[in-house]
Amino acid sequence: MALDPAGHIRIAVSDLSDSIIFYERLFEQLRYRREREHAWVTPYGLGFWLIQAEYPEPKHTHGAPGLHHFCFPADMRSRVDTVYYFLREIEVAISDPPRDYPEYVDDGEEYYAVFFYDPDGIKLEVAYHK
């Protein structure tokens, strides 16, 4: 079976060791499976891989061309809150604390998310929606 049957995302980071620590701790909260030293797989089969950037500067600037943000799905609403408190504990820059985003879904559906930044300034989101 393929390591990541739903495909993968590969992110070049400025400091591989620091980013491995950050993402490992984040993915523990989300219950993602670690497959290799710097590769994790979501329950849905999507892989998330880290590599050392060839050119570590400049770091990512949110709003510039390229990745706007990446959303990691949460399996329950309370997981978003758990991740938020974890992020605060390790002093991660929070863009938007957890709240409902009814504008992201059709009437009657739920979308609850937290937005934050990784060590290189890449904007990330953890969201529960149904």
Tell me, letter by letter, the H, E, C secondary structure of 40-58: EECCCCCEEEEEECCCCCC
CA–CA gap between residue 80 and residue 19 (Å, rounded) = 21
1 is a domain residue:
no
CATH of the domain at 44: 3.10.180.10
60 is a domain residue:
no
Q: How many structural domains is the chain composed of?
A: 1
59 is a domain residue:
no
123 is a domain residue:
yes
Supply the range of the domain harboring residue 113: 8-54+68-129
Q: List pLDDT tens digits, range 77-128.
A: 999 999 999 999 999 999 999 999 999 998 889 999 999 999 999 999 999 9
Asked if residues 104 and 51 have their Cβ atoms less than 8 Å apart, the reply is: no
CA–CA gap between residue 12 and residue 53 (Å, rounded) = 5
CA–CA gap between residue 72 and residue 93 (Å, rounded) = 17
CA–CA gap between residue 99 and residue 43 (Å, rounded) = 24
- Position 6 scores a pLDDT of 81
